[in-house]
Amino acid sequence: MNRRVRDGMHKFCLKLSGWLERTRHGSSLMPGRSCARKGTVLILVLWVLAMLTVLGGYHAVESRIRRNLGQEAWNELQGREAAYSLLRFSALKLARSGAGRTDDMEPDSGLDGGDEELRLDADGTEYSVRFGDLELEFSLRDESGKLSINKASQAQLEELFAGLLGEDAEERAAVIAQSIMDWRDADNISRDDGAEDSWYSDLVPPYHAADRPFLLLDELLLVRGIDMSLYYGPLEWRDSESDDPEDSEPAWRGSLRDLLTVYNDSSGVSRAYAAAPVKAVMEGSTAGASRKTRTICLTFMHEGTLYAVYWSRQVNGRFSVIHWTEQAMPGAEDR
């Protein structure tokens, strides 16, 4: 509570007690006025109690706000330091590109002594690691195993989204695929089910199609037909060759982050790191992924925030961060 307010209340209470004492002695000399003075005293006491209640409530709310702000700042700091710890850990333990799970065994790097054969594969496998009292679950995904959002054909995109949305959503899949093509091409001519400036200008707030290649995958949230639930998932993919696809268990669960990328500069993919939907879309294709630069996506959840960090490994266990995103996911559990 503010010191000035507290001192003022103390002085007021002293004056009030003195006045009540004088009133008590005065009432014995003038009995006729005792009832009126008692009523006045009651009103003053109730007024003081009401004021103290308001001040106490204000103090409680202020304390709660300060506590929440402090907890939020602590969670943010802890999450970012956890991300850096995971990046250092992954840079030391990441298996070389194309190595099998039993290959690329090197002497222990000194981290978590005893894990001499530990190697992390960038194929989406979920790992668990403990740093002090903090236990984290994370996954690594090689971007060469994802479909390039800037190189994929319209047919590939339509097949991908049709598989994710279901057979009854072929029209929406066509809208999304053609809108992606319109977003990244250089002209302002809309495809039949696509979207250009004329469509985006009617939104609130209005904006324009980029008419250039995607710079960040998050730009998909601006494209017609793509919303938060589709972008962040969870999405499911069922094998179309199954006897009963509707009743079968999903062959894959994830989000668009696991399937599309801007860091694969080839029209092909690395099948060793590709998820089931990407493998199905690329069925029959002989194109392979470019190996100029190996970009890895680290994802993990901490205190309701989804971290996705795109990075590349340098020499001697070092790493370079390419892009860092944090997205609040209300109601989501750490994973």
59-94 tens-digit pLDDT: 888 888 988 899 899 999 999 999 999 999 999 888
pLDDT at 108: 36
What are the pLDDT tens digits along the chain (335 aa)? Answer: 566 656 666 666 666 666 666 655 555 545 555 555 666 777 887 888 888 888 888 888 888 898 889 989 999 999 999 999 999 999 988 887 655 544 443 333 334 444 545 789 998 889 999 988 889 999 999 999 999 999 999 999 999 999 898 877 889 999 999 999 999 999 999 999 999 999 999 999 999 999 999 999 999 999 999 999 899 888 988 876 655 556 568 888 888 988 999 999 888 898 889 999 999 888 866 555 555 668 999 999 998 899 999 999 887 778 999 999 998 876 655 44
Tokens linked to 27: 């009432």
How crowded is residue 177: how many other Cβ atoms within 10 Å of its Cβ?
25
How crowded is residue 146: how many other Cβ atoms within 10 Å of its Cβ?
28
Q: What is the CA radius of gyration of the chain?
A: 32
CB of 320 within 8 A of CB of 312? yes
DSSP track, 230-299 = HHH--EEE--TTSSSTTTSPPSEEE-GGGTEESS--SSS--GGG--HHHHHHTTT-------SS--EEEE
Instruction: Round to whole Å and give the CA distance between 249 and 222.
Output: 32
Local structure of residue 305 (DSSP, 8 states): E
Listed in sequence order, the residues at least 6 apart from 212 whose beta carbon sits closer than 8 Å to its beta carbon are 184, 186
Distances 227 to 219, 224, 230, 278 between C-alpha atoms, Å: 11, 8, 5, 21
User: Closest by alpha carbon to 145, among 274, 232, 58?
Assistant: 274
Instruction: Round to whole Å and give the CA distance between 139 and 308.
Output: 10
pLDDT at 166: 80
pLDDT at 104: 40
pLDDT at 18: 67
User: Closest by alpha carbon to 39, among 28, 23, 15, 25?
Assistant: 23
Tens-digit pLDDT profile for residues 258-277: 899 999 988 889 888 999 99
Tokens linked to 288: 């392979």
Distances 170 to 102, 166, 191, 196 between C-alpha atoms, Å: 42, 7, 16, 21
Instruction: Round to whole Å and give the CA distance between 150 and 318.
Output: 29
CB of 327 within 8 A of CB of 306? yes
Which burial class, exposed, middle or buried, applies to 227 when counting CB atoms under 10 A from its CB (0-12, 13-18, 19+)?
Answer: exposed
Instruction: Round to whole Å and give the CA distance between 302 and 78.
Output: 9
Tens-digit pLDDT profile for residues 218-264: 999 999 999 998 998 889 888 766 555 565 688 888 889 889 999 99
pLDDT at 29: 47
DSSP, collapsed to helix, strand or coil, labels residue 309 as strand
CB of 109 within 8 A of CB of 95? no
**How many residues appear in the chain?**
335
Q: What angle do CA 300, 77, 259 make, to 5 degrees?
A: 20
